[in-house]
A = this chain, B = another copy of it.
Amino acid sequence: MFSGAQIALYPMSDDFVGIITGALTALDPHRERLRIETDDVTTLIVGPPPILFAAMRDLFVAAAGTGTHCVLSATVSRGCPGEPDDPICRPDPDAVPAGPLDARIEAALAAVDKAPETGQAAVGQFSLYPLGEGGHMDEIYGCIDFVKASAVFDRSKNFCTRLSGDAGAVFAALGEAFTRFGAPSGHVAMDVTVSANSPSRRA
């Protein structure tokens, strides 16, 4: 199964190039498990979902650690029928959706609970798109049930769900939402925005 993400990091600073290039070293521990291609709009990272979310977390935390208002935006996808299979994308067999929703929700909650703490506060938003299957709203509602029961749930918004907390738990919740819901070998996409250090008053 092909899985990967188109990601971008937006530091709201005159020194955005320096902040981005400085944060890129945070990807080093993951490079062996990823294929990475950059252009002037987004960077493609291809690899198994747990590595994708860990890499995005580490990149985001490195950039946000500068204190600058930073946003990471990503389009994450698995099982797209238009993409070739890639041997780099072997998912963790424990992380493939299987079994009843209740059990998957419990496993996802446990994974968020044991997420490593990063010390970086973050606000995240995501929309999950399980494609080409009947009952896609059941999987979306199951995913929302998980997120609402998790420690990082903030609130529901139109078209997306908002999370807040330590970046470690926020990215863990995003990764669980992506891997535990939708058909096991089906086409699932997720739209992700994570923000830190915003000067705006929290709504």
Q: Enumerate chain A interface residues (CB-CB to B < 8 A).
A: 4-6, 8, 10-14, 16-17, 38-42, 44, 46, 69, 71, 73, 75, 77, 80-83, 123, 125, 127, 129-132, 134, 136-137, 140-141, 157-160, 162, 189, 191, 193, 195, 198-203
Q: Shortest Cβ distance from A15 into chain B, in angstroms?
A: 8
Q: Does B81 lie within 8 Å of A159, measured CB to CB?
A: no
Instruction: With A4-B159, A41-B125, A73-B73 given, name 8 new contacts (CB 8 A).
Output: A10-B10, A12-B12, A12-B13, A39-B203, A41-B198, A75-B127, A77-B127, A130-B131
Chain B hits for A82, CB < 8 A? 137, 140-141
**With contact pairs A10-B71, A17-B199, A129-B129 given, residues A41 and B123 touching in the complex (Cβ less than 8 Å):** yes
Q: Does B16 lie within 8 Å of A69, measured CB to CB?
A: yes
Closest to A14 in B: B14
| Cα distance A177–B8 in the bound complex, in angstroms | 23
Which of A39, A80, A140 counts the most chain B CB atoms within 10 A? A39
Q: Does B10 lie within 8 Å of A13, measured CB to CB?
A: no
Chain B hits for A140, CB < 8 A? 82
Chain B hits for A195, CB < 8 A? 40-41
Q: Does B193 lie within 8 Å of A42, measured CB to CB?
A: yes
